[in-house]
Structures are given as C-alpha cells and as structure tokens.
Amino acid sequence: MSILLHACCGPCAMYPVDMLLNEGRKLDLFWYNPNIHPEFEWNRRLENLHKCADHYGVKLIEGQDECMQEYWEEKTYLAEFGSRCEMCYDIRLDEVARYAAQNGYESFCTTLLVSPYQQHELIVKTAKSKAEQYGVNFEYYDFRPGFRQGQNMARDIGLYRQKYCGCIFSLEESDFKEKILKSFEDQA
C-alpha cells in the first residue's frame, strides 16, 4: 500500500519514515509548508528534508508552495479559522490530501503527528475531514512516542534541528528567538 507522507522537516520525518519502512510500507515524502518563515528558514528546512529523504532512499515530492509570511502577518485567516494553527493545518493537509487523491496514493499521513508540541487532536480532525473531502484514506499514526528517538536520529546524520514551529509568530514567541536570528545572520 503506498502512502504519501507530508513532512514538515527532516528531523520530524526521521522516526515516521524509519518506522513505516520497517513495517514494509512503500512511501513518498511530500513537502508543502507555506507556513515556514522567513524564506531562509523555509529553504533550510527543505534542504534538510532532502538529506532525510536521501538517507532513507525515498522520493521527496516538492509541492508548489511559497513562503506566505505576509498572509500570516495580515491575520485575515482568523475570520475563517479559530487560530493560526488551525489555518496552518488546514492549508497543508488540504494540499497533501488533494495531491494524494489526484496521484493515485492509497492513503496519506503527516509527520506533524510526531511532535508533542503540536495540537494532535486538531491535526487528526483536520486530516479526517480532508480525507473525506478528497476521497482518499487518512492513515492515523501516533508517532509521538518516537519523537526523541527521531531527534537523536536527526542529530546522528547531522540534520539542522529547528527551535520553533515555523511561522513568524512562533519565531517571535520562541525562547530561542535571538539564537535563531543569529543563525540566519551566520548563514547569510
């Protein structure tokens, strides 16, 4: 059974990819993360997801997305969604479910389900809604027990491990904001 696995970054993909491959699953990774800001961070996370895909020998599909920082900053989404996180999950899971349905995948899932810092139940609810909308199966996995293991696996192969969720607001709220901003300067 082929599964399309949405991946937000390399470190969060390590444990789910490893687990699914060990179960004998056929999978492709799918990058669609217009929420990640600033653009330098977006590029850095994509680059590290390529390293993860290469490490496991799996295909990485890059969705047609862009850094949508201005959209997040305008906060116009709050009229339709209860929070920026709800909007973020909706946008990304809509695209992965649509792509999975249109490209013959039997199911989809997301690495967002590995992080203990994400709103797990909201992700599941959104994914189920998108599965129904597009007529494709959402395969639920609670990857959270492998979060630390995945982070260690990422460290072992030298992946960049970010210190914030991805959007400009989570960067502003991060306890590591100054260190993160310095890392952007150091890489420029």
What is residue 166's predicted lDDT score, i.e. its pLDDT?
A: 65
* CATH number of the structural domain 2-162: 3.40.50.620
What is residue 41's predicted lDDT score, i.e. its pLDDT?
A: 83
pLDDT band at residue 133, thresholds of 50, 70 and 90?
Answer: very high
What is the value of pTM for the model shown? 0.88
- For residue 76, pLDDT over 80 is answered with no
pLDDT band at residue 124, thresholds of 50, 70 and 90?
Answer: very high
- For residue 120, pLDDT over 60 is answered with yes
What is residue 74's predicted lDDT score, i.e. its pLDDT?
A: 73
More confident residue, 41 or 136: 136
Mean pLDDT of the chain: 88
- For residue 60, pLDDT over 60 is answered with yes
Which residues neighbour 79 within 8 Å (Cβ) at sequence distance 6 or greater? none
Exposure on the CB side of residue 53, measured as CA atoms within 13 A: 21
What is residue 70's predicted lDDT score, i.e. its pLDDT?
A: 74
